[in-house]
A and B are shown apart, each in its own frame.
Chain A
Amino acid sequence: MSPHASSTRRFGFAAGHRYWVEAWTPAENGRVFGRLTVPHGHNYTLDVTVRGPIDPQTGMVIDLAELKRIVAETVVERFDHADLNADPLFRGRVPTTENVAVAVWELLAPKLGADRLARVRVWEDPTLYVDVRGEPPGGEPSGEMARK
């Protein structure tokens, strides 16, 4: 069996968002989310980690050019200079850092395989990031996208 390793590549996208629950009154939104109800934006940083065997021919876990192409087509082109609240992925789902990370996971897992996608890390700014992983080995997959 080939030894396993993980590879991480970093991406970035600048996107706008606001925290807003449509079902709530403006007063309720203001009380819960405060300044976050005002449309604003971030320079997001995205670290995508792929885990798997090191291919004995290429010496790679994944061709980083392939990873770059997949993430660019699937995530960066979709979110860069976009209004996240207008994306169907965030219909009924507030684009918090948590939900952005979950959305990136849901976009990438079918492309890379949930068994290869080890971790999605979304940095909203240098002081805040959210990690999404599949279930640990032996754990019951619970998220829809954690299933292959």
Chain B
Amino acid sequence: MMLELTRVYHFSAGHRLANPALGPEANAALYGDCHRPHGHNYYLEVTVAGRPDPVTGMSVDLGRLDDAVRARVLAQVDHHTLEGVPALAGVITTGEGLARAFWRLLAPAVPGTLRRVTVVETAKNRFQYEGGEG
């Protein structure tokens, strides 16, 4: 039996998609509307794997998980412009890019084993990163 626990967090942030290697016209052509500064009400889902402790029934200390996510991610990004967040330097702030960047921030910090990071950009767009660099 495999068990995974997922906690859902929320933050609001501004961003724009741009590749710093490209000029304004090329970026506008590549990213279209997303090149204009705008923002989202993001949801961040953090999934950790683990077996429930036989005594406490808890697979992970939720307080420690919440603290780690707040300190490593939410405090950096909530009501910020993502392009100005030091922890996201060099990241193109697509949903995929954010999921991977958040994974790197969270993997060493969360209790248990990080299994998946999901960034929900809008109700229609959902991005998942499960680690591995391939």
Contacts and interface: CB of A to CB of B under 8 A. Distances in A.
Contacts of A33: 56
**B1, B7, B9, B59: most-surrounded residue (chain A CB, <10 A):** B1
Report the interface size class on chain A: 20 to 34
B3 A32 contact: no
A131 B48 CA distance: 10
Report the interface size class on chain B: 10 to 19
A93 B57 CA distance: 7
B8 A133 contact: no
Contacts of A143: 1
Interface of A: 19, 21, 23, 32-33, 93-99, 101-102, 105, 126-136, 141-143, 145-146
Given A21-B55, A135-B1, 15 more contacts: A21-B56, A23-B55, A32-B56, A33-B56, A96-B56, A98-B52, A102-B1, A105-B1, A127-B7, A128-B7, A128-B8, A129-B5, A130-B6, A134-B1, A143-B1
